Amino acid sequence: MAATILARMRIPALALCVAAALPRPAAAIAGDVVILQGLDKITARISTFEAPIAQPVQFGTLEIVARACDRTPPEEPPENAAFLEIREVKQDEDQAVNLYTGWMFSSSPALTALEHPIYDVWVLECRISSTSSSPKSE
C-alpha cells in the first residue's frame, strides 16, 4: 500500500520537474492601434482601417471601439488579438444596437466573427502607433 502511494506521488513530482524545465511562453506585446479590415457585402468593397484604442471609428453604419490589442512576440507563432465593441448606429434611430463585444483573433477570423447581414469585420494586426503606417483603403 505504501508503495502505491509513493508511486502516485512520484508522477506529480515528475510532472512538476518537467513543467519547470520547459520554456515559458513570452509575454504578449500590447499595442495601441488595431488594424481592421471590413467588407461591405452590398458593394463587395473591402476597406482596411485603423482603430486606436478607446477611440470610436466608423465603418458604414458600424461604430467600432477597440478596448485592448495584443500580439505575440517575434519568437512565437504569429497571432494578433483585439477586444472590440461593435455597435450599429442608424441615422433614423436614437438608440445604437450592440452587435458584438469580445475578442477577435487574426489567425481565426471565423472563430469569433461579427454576424451582420451587410458587414464583416476582422482583425489584421495589432500595432504600436509610433511604428505604424496608415494603410490605404482598397
Reduce the secondary structure of the chain to three states and give it as a string. Answer: CHHHHHHHHHHHHHHHHHHHHCCCCCCCEECCEEEEEEEECCCCEEEEEEEEECCCEEECCEEEEEEEEEECCCCCCCCEEEEEEEEECCCCCCCCEEEEEEEEECCCCCCCCCCCCCEEEEEEEEECHHHCCCCCCC
Range of the domain at 125: 29-131
Q: Is residue 7 a part of any domain in this protein? A: no
Q: Which tens digit of pLDDT belongs to each residue from 26-47?
A: 788 999 999 999 999 999 999 9
User: What pTM does this model have?
Assistant: 0.73
Q: Is residue 16 a part of any domain in this protein? A: no
Q: Is residue 6 a part of any domain in this protein? A: no
Q: Which tens digit of pLDDT belongs to each residue from 87-117?
A: 999 888 788 899 999 999 999 988 888 999 9
Q: Is residue 60 a part of any domain in this protein? A: yes
Number of domains in the chain: 1
